[in-house]
Structure 1
Amino acid sequence: MRRPDPSARPAPAEIRPATPEDADRLTTVERAASLAALGHVFPPDEYPYPTDDVRARWVRTLADAAVTVLVLDDELRPGALVAFVAVDDTGCVRHLGVRPRSWGHGHARRMLEAANTRTDRPRLWVLEGNTRARGLYEHLGWRATGRSRAAEWPPYPTEVELTRTAGRDVRGPAG
Structure 2
Amino acid sequence: MTPQHPPSEVTLRPMTAADVPAVVAVQQPGAVAALVDVFPQDEHPFPRDEVARRWVEELGTPGIDCSVVEEDGALVGFAASRGDELFHLGVAVERWGSGVAQAAHDALLARMRDAGVEVAWLRVFEGNARGRRFYERLGWVATGERSRSTFPPRPVLLRYELPLSRRGSG
Pair 41,70 (structure 1): closer, same or farther in 2 beyond 3 Å = same
Q: Which structure: greater strand fraction? A: 2
Work out whether residues 10 and 100 of structure 2, in 8 Å CA contact, stay in contact via their aligned partners in 1: no
Which amino acid letter does the alignment assign opposite residue 111 of structure 1?
Answer: A
Are residues 1:107 and 2:107 paired? no
Which among 150, 153, 157 is matched to residue 151 of structure 2?
153
* Structure with bigger gyration radius: 1
CA distance in 1, matches of 2:43, 2:168: 36
The Cα offsets for residues 78-127 of structure 1, whole Å up to 9 and x where unpaired, read as 8x6211110012x1011111111100011121111111222111000000
| Residue 3 of structure 1: aligned partner | none
Q: TM-score, normalized by length of structure 1?
A: 0.83
Are residues 1:28 and 2:21 paired? no
User: Residues 82-101 of structure 1 correspond to what in structure 2 (within 5 A)?
Assistant: 82-89=76-83, 91-101=84-94
Secondary structure in 2 aligned to 1:31?
Answer: helix
Are residues 1:167 and 2:160 paired? no
Deviation at 1:14, TM superposition (A): 3.3
Are residues 1:131 and 2:148 paired? no
Q: TM-score, normalized by length of structure 2?
A: 0.86
Q: CA RMSD in A?
A: 2.4
Runs (5+) with no aligned partner, structure 2: none
Identity, in percent, stands at 35
| Residue 16 of structure 2: aligned partner | 19
Runs (5+) with no aligned partner, structure 1: 1-6
- How many residues are treated as equivalent by the alignment? 162
